[in-house]
Structure 1
Amino acid sequence: MKTISVPDEVINARTIPPGSVIYASGNAATPQLLLAQLARDHSIVDIDLYTVLPLGDRIAELYSAERCRTITHRVIFNSYLTRQAVNSGCAYYHPMHLSEIPKHMFQRIKPNVVLLTVSGPDHGGNYSLGTTVEGVLAAVQYANKHGGVVIAERNAKMPFVLGTTIPEEAIDYLLETDYPLPLSPVHHPDDRARRIGEIIAALYIHDGRGEEPGSTLQYGIGEVPEAVTDAIIRKGVGDLAIHTELLADAMQNLIKRGVVTNRWKPHFTFAVSSIFLSESQAGYDWLHFNSSVQSRPSDYTNSVFKISELPRMVAINSAIGVDLHGNIWADS
């Protein structure tokens, strides 16, 4: 692994020639300085860039009309940065089950360049993938196996989230950075959301403190999950579990209060997620070497087989739209 001092040492047309396929981590682990350099260097052309919910205002230029003419954007999960480019036809939208992203990394995406954010190393010399795993681990493994290049930012503000790590030899270049992680503002519930939360808690959230298992929770982001959290606390239940692809502040609150213990999970007693978001740096700091939560790739967190093993699974998400056939979507 070579440590670099500025992004353009490796984010250039020599490292990323025409025909390259890049996979970049997203959410709070979006490698913003690397991607910002990719946006600025107009000698890098005719490449494909795969992303899952990229965040961070530093990379807005990456999705400009001008840059979309030389970069083929393939968006797996939209964010505020990508939505206009997708809707205008400047970028491609690739609907894909989160559980299948790691599989498609080897079968379809096949990246020869991986951009990511890490934290660490720990005493074993391993680096955490931080707040975003989803398909990143598979991307690193594919690039390592097929002679690709792995370029990482080590952001001083990125927590070392336990669970999914990579060895130092899996990283080719490391850039030291220190800038704020993207935040996910808490959506305070209105009266309608609070009523929905009360109904969900009353009907579907089971107390696990007795002889029967408590509910296992999966949350999305929005007013309703926040309202459900408040209703669960008011209901006074305990010994619940968490198995989710996204863990945000509402779930942190349940863990801190001792409502979630993961007592009834069949294999381990910690919360599992593939992506972590917070409304503050304090929320990210709480994740740092915290053994009550661990990260896993999305083919684990979103596997129907793993989910089916868990007691009394309750999935709570907000829909963006519903079509005439009753199909619901939340990621367009």
Structure 2
Amino acid sequence: MTHYLDHDSPDLSPWIRRGDTVLWGQANAEPLPLTRALMAQRERIGRFRVLLGIASSDSCRVEHTDYVDFVSYGGSGANRKLTDAGVLDVLPCHYSQLPALIREGSLKVDVLLLQVAGPDEAGRYSLSLAHEYLLAALDSARVVIAEVNRQAPWAYGEQSLTLERFDAVLLSDRPVLEQLRTTPSATEQRIGQNIAEFIEDGATLQMGIGTIPEAVLGCLTGHRDLGVHSGSIGDGVARLMASGVITNARKTIDSGKTVAGVLIGSAALHSFVHRNPNVLMRSTDYVHHPDVLASIDRLVAINSAIEVDLTGQVNAEVANGSYLGAVGGAGDFLRGAARSRGGVPVIALPSTSKGRSRIVERLSGPVSTPRCDIGLVVTEFGIADLRGLSLRQRTKRMLDIAHPDFRAELAPVANV
């Protein structure tokens, strides 16, 4: 039997126990009334653990660590404050590994909090803004509590739910969290243009999160019949779908469908996806599966980095000693693009940050993606295609795309 929670003061203590691990949808998919109630009731519940994805709200704050342990696969978004305070424990794993870790119990999830849309005329509730690893948690969590938000977009996905699937429900009618579009800088625009030049009509795109992917999309208005198969999508994808640039017509699988695991964008994206059968939400098991990615012809995987060394090793996690990024899905997609017929694995980044070169002799953080998985590295100064090159050849190519102010410093290391 499904219980209905009081909207104004939902009591979660009957459902959540001391020692539990709680998970919810990341970014805009966060069920805000539930997460805020959880933090407010933490003392009553007793110490528990929260498994965070990308955080878009301030629901989880440093002062909450008096009763809450926070762990996440990355330090982006609002997680930054937790990492800066040293209270976020980091789970270093490939994104594709998360569902198996949850199902097998290595990453045990006791309570799952969801934001859903619905029901539709058939009584089906949509997982709305996120599928990804939530499906694995649905299979294994002891308790599932859903916020049914009247303003959440009803998105098509590989799984819909009925009311009986929820142990408790909170009815709400609130604006969904959103990420407003940021205008790419001139440097990011040049990077976008460099990448757009080698994207063919009919290619399928995967894009990481941030302004560089949006800059790339902004440079593709003259392309035709592009496809999308990506862990996340934002406003740029919606705009190119609406204008007819992204049709998914030439995809070798999921023809006609933009496939994504999570929606991270503004209200315009949410409105576009609502009841749109051309957007299909899928689980991480599918979106990041190596065989699925290999079966997509001309897959162009575009991911960012904090720094890249002269041989192509990538640090996407730590900057200046602070954990800002994640291992994430970059490695999954880069390997998938390398296996794809006509695919291109891409790492894109500005050549400098705060007066320091991001093309470096030696990484200042961990190796998030090994050099054997790197194809193209792109900065505003050009493209270094490292495929098939020896270490000495790689260092020369990487020097060419470094900022001119740092080339003399890097040249002796590159043996040129």
Q: Same fold (TM over 0.5)?
A: yes
Pairing 1:161–2:155 present: yes
Pairing 1:195–2:181 present: no
**1:184 counterpart residue number:** 179
* Of 271, 277, 288, the match for 1:285: 271
Pairing 1:221–2:209 present: yes
Contact preservation (8 Å) 2:253, 2:296 = no
Which structure carries more relative contact order (alpha carbon 8 Å, separation 6+)? 1
Unpaired runs of 5+ in structure 2?
A: 318-324, 327-416
Shift of residue 9, structure 1, vs aligned partner: 4.2
Pairing 1:271–2:269 present: no
Distance between the aligned counterparts of 2:68 and 2:309, measured in 1? 31
* Of 70, 83, 86, the match for 1:73: 70
Distance 1:324 1:16, change over 3 A: farther
1:8-23 map, 5 Å: 8-12=9-13, 14-23=14-23
**2:338 counterpart residue number:** none
Distance between the aligned counterparts of 1:286 and 1:112, measured in 2? 33
Shift of residue 87, structure 1, vs aligned partner: 3.6
Pairing 1:300–2:286 present: yes
**2:62 counterpart residue number:** 64
**2:374 counterpart residue number:** none
Pairing 1:47–2:51 present: no
Contact preservation (8 Å) 1:155, 1:178 = yes
Shift of residue 2, structure 1, vs aligned partner: 2.2
Distance 1:53 1:222, change over 3 A: closer
Unpaired runs of 5+ in structure 1?
A: 208-213
Shift of residue 329, structure 1, vs aligned partner: 1.1
Distance 1:93 1:200, change over 3 A: same
**1:94 counterpart residue number:** 91
**1:152 counterpart residue number:** 146
Paired residue type of 1:237? H
Distance between the aligned counterparts of 1:183 and 1:247, measured in 2? 13
- Per-residue CA deviations over 1:215-269 (Å, capped at 9, x if unaligned) read 1001123332222222211xx2211110001110111111111111112223322
Shift of residue 8, structure 1, vs aligned partner: 4.9
**2:120 counterpart residue number:** 122
Paired residue type of 1:141? D
What is the aligned residue count?
313
Paired residue type of 1:238? R
Contact preservation (8 Å) 1:264, 1:311 = no
Shift of residue 282, structure 1, vs aligned partner: 3.0
Describe the SS at the equivalent of 1:34. helix
Distance between the aligned counterparts of 2:7 and 2:107, measured in 1? 28
* Of 131, 140, 146, the match for 1:142: 140
Paired residue type of 2:130? T
Paired residue type of 2:125? Y
Contact preservation (8 Å) 1:99, 1:300 = no
Determine what percentage of the aligned residue pairs are the same residue: 30
TM-score normalised by L of structure 1: 0.88
Contact preservation (8 Å) 1:239, 1:261 = yes
Distance 1:224 1:86, change over 3 A: closer
Shift of residue 120, structure 1, vs aligned partner: 0.8
Describe the SS at the equivalent of 1:158. coil
Distance 1:221 1:82, change over 3 A: closer
Shift of residue 295, structure 1, vs aligned partner: 0.2
Distance between the aligned counterparts of 1:272 and 1:312, measured in 2? 15
**2:358 counterpart residue number:** none
Shift of residue 299, structure 1, vs aligned partner: 1.9
Distance between the aligned counterparts of 1:317 and 1:85, measured in 2? 24
Q: Greater Rg, structure 1 or structure 2?
A: 2
Distance 1:92 1:193, change over 3 A: same
Shift of residue 142, structure 1, vs aligned partner: 0.9
User: Larger deviation: 73-82 or 148-157?
Assistant: 73-82
Distance between the aligned counterparts of 2:207 and 2:33, measured in 1? 30
**2:316 counterpart residue number:** 329
Distance between the aligned counterparts of 1:260 and 1:291, measured in 2? 14
Shift of residue 271, structure 1, vs aligned partner: 0.5
Distance between the aligned counterparts of 1:319 and 1:19, measured in 2? 35
Shift of residue 187, structure 1, vs aligned partner: 2.3
Distance between the aligned counterparts of 2:56 and 2:212, measured in 1? 23
Distance between the aligned counterparts of 1:323 and 1:43, measured in 2? 49
